[in-house]
Amino acid sequence: MPDERVKDTTPLTADVAVVGYGPVGRLLALLLGRSGRRVVVVERQPQAYPLPRAAHFDDEIGRILQSVGVSPDSIPDVVEAYDDLYEWRAADRQPLLRLDWRGLGPSGWHVSHFFHQPSLESILDAQVQALDSVEVLRGWTAVAHTDGPDAVSLELRSATDERRSVSARYVVGCDGANSVVRSWIGTEATDLGYFHDWLVIDLLMHGALKEPVFSPPAWQLCDPVRPTTLVPGGPGRRRFEFMRLPTETAEELNDEAVAWRLLEPWGIGPGQAKLERHAVYTFQARWCDTWRRGRLLLAGDSAHLMPPFAGQGMCSGMRDAVALAWRLDLILDGRVAADTVLDSYGPERAEHVRHFIAASMALGEVICLSDPVAAAERDRALQADLAAGAESPPRPLPRLGPGFHREDTGGGLLSIQAAVTNGRRTALFDDVVGPGGVLLMADPGLREWLRPEDTALLDDLGWQVVALAAEPTAGEVVDTTGAYAAWLAGLGAVAVLVRPDLYLYGAAADPADLTGLLDHLHAALGRPATADR
């Protein structure tokens, strides 16, 4: 049912208005709301969308979910960790390509998880609804905006033609591929001209199927007769995707009878599964050139689209939300950071997402061949590489684009998460120390190099100072696995400054460089440098 609160037509004021309430909008609203920011969410759908869309997230998103109290292992009925090869096979079922994305990733969670999106969204929604600082307006559409010197005024319209307004200091469009906020910004897009139609089918399984059908559980059938994707869709669910052939129309393919016919060779019929969804999607590859104009910003599918073959579409949007949330929180504080901190958001994220788009397209080039001659040439080349012992293509772990970090010292790289102990608890770093920004030092003695102005700055930011020690004491942790010592050594660093979005602001090569790193942070925030204070 629509939220009863929307019957009140009083103008609303907010720190941030979030347009769109998918996983990206929910995460952004949750992060800002927990920081005490007043958030109004505008969602045109009167009820939550009940069908799956995204089905995969990686270890970095697992860590982000951990930070809001929804760690992947806490919801086994929604999320299943994946620990097998991801294979690409020819029409005769012989392997062409093996992606070895097994085990734990650098963020401390499995590299791959499959999940049921409506269930995860419901969990995030419950956490948002528990916050007094966030109001979710369902059944309302943002139809116009007016830029002001200190705020943006949104005009909202309901399905019954009621009117309402929201005044917000910032507006973030998390409203998908047809984003109205993007149209207000007026940005051009870098479009790579990638267009493939696929029929996406989601199934709720009634019982176990024969193991050979799904061994490994996630794979791609690179058959030019019908390129096909087979992956889990979360616990008890399966997803199939069938590429539209040149001889078909999207309308012909998007038919329930066609869905069952395509599933029949896999031993699946109404007796084995419930058809939850069938829909034809056009896989695309593009990103916006401008992610911000004044007080208007973009995140998620409103800013970028990519093929699903690397499972990074929703992941990239959730990274956007985290990258934006901590910036907005600091700016809204009014004393910690200047508005210019938002200028780095788009360049950082656009460059980062470009790498995932490229990786997804490269994988798509393997499977999206309907010409048998071209497919035969592909098969010969890839199988020759496998026979020669070619390694699995690396999982993309790109660096952020130029922005709010010191690039010459590890800035823009993803930080790691491993187990530590503080003497009371042994667990993953964020569970012991807490989420958020942190200055991590290799030795407690480095604290002596922190000046009063450095400590004051980190306190203002809400970023912690944590040192690795041989024995746990106040403010220090023990590196129980040696992972942090190895990571710092690989960076050639005695300390690293980790932003709240898990990416490095920079690394210090020695104690003196720690001073330079913190001076760089002072300046980047729009605060006076040490020499000027």
State the chain's mean pLDDT as an integer.
Answer: 94
All domains in the chain, ordered by first residue: 4-80+111-187+287-362 (3.50.50.60), 407-532 (3.40.30.120)
- With beta carbons less than 8 A apart as the criterion, state whether 488 and 427 touch: no
DSSP letters, 350-390, are HHHHHHHHHHHHHHHHHH----HHHHHHHHHHHHHHHHTTP
Token pair belonging to 401: 């684009």
Token pair belonging to 439: 């200055």
Q: Is the pLDDT of residue 391 over 70?
A: yes
What is the β-pairing status of strands 39-43 and 12-19? parallel
In whole angstroms, give the CA distance from residue 44 to residue 140. Answer: 5
Q: What is the pLDDT of residues 448-474, one digit of tens each?
A: 999 999 999 999 999 999 999 999 887
Q: What is the pLDDT of residues 327-355, one digit of tens each?
A: 999 999 887 888 999 999 999 999 999 99
For the chain, counts of helices (H) and of strands (E) = 13, 28
In whole angstroms, give the CA distance from residue 299 to residue 29. Answer: 12
Q: What is the pLDDT of residues 305-333, one digit of tens each?
A: 999 999 999 999 999 999 999 999 999 98
Mean pLDDT value across residues 397-426: 94
CA distances from 100 to 25, 83, 284 (A): 32, 9, 25
- With beta carbons less than 8 A apart as the criterion, state whether 30 and 128 touch: yes
Local structure of 475: helix, strand or coil: coil
| Other residues' Cβ atoms within 10 Å of the Cβ of residue 275 | 16
Percent of the chain with pLDDT over 90: 89
Give 9's pLDDT tier (boundaries 50, 70, 90). low
Mean pLDDT value across residues 379-395: 91
In whole angstroms, give the CA distance from residue 162 to residue 5. Answer: 13
The pLDDT assigned to 8 comes to 60
Token pair belonging to 140: 């309302």
Mean pLDDT value across residues 384-410: 91
Q: What is the pLDDT of residues 179-234, one digit of tens each?
A: 999 999 999 999 999 999 999 999 999 876 655 578 899 999 999 999 999 999 99
CA angle 43, 46, 52 (to 5 degrees): 80
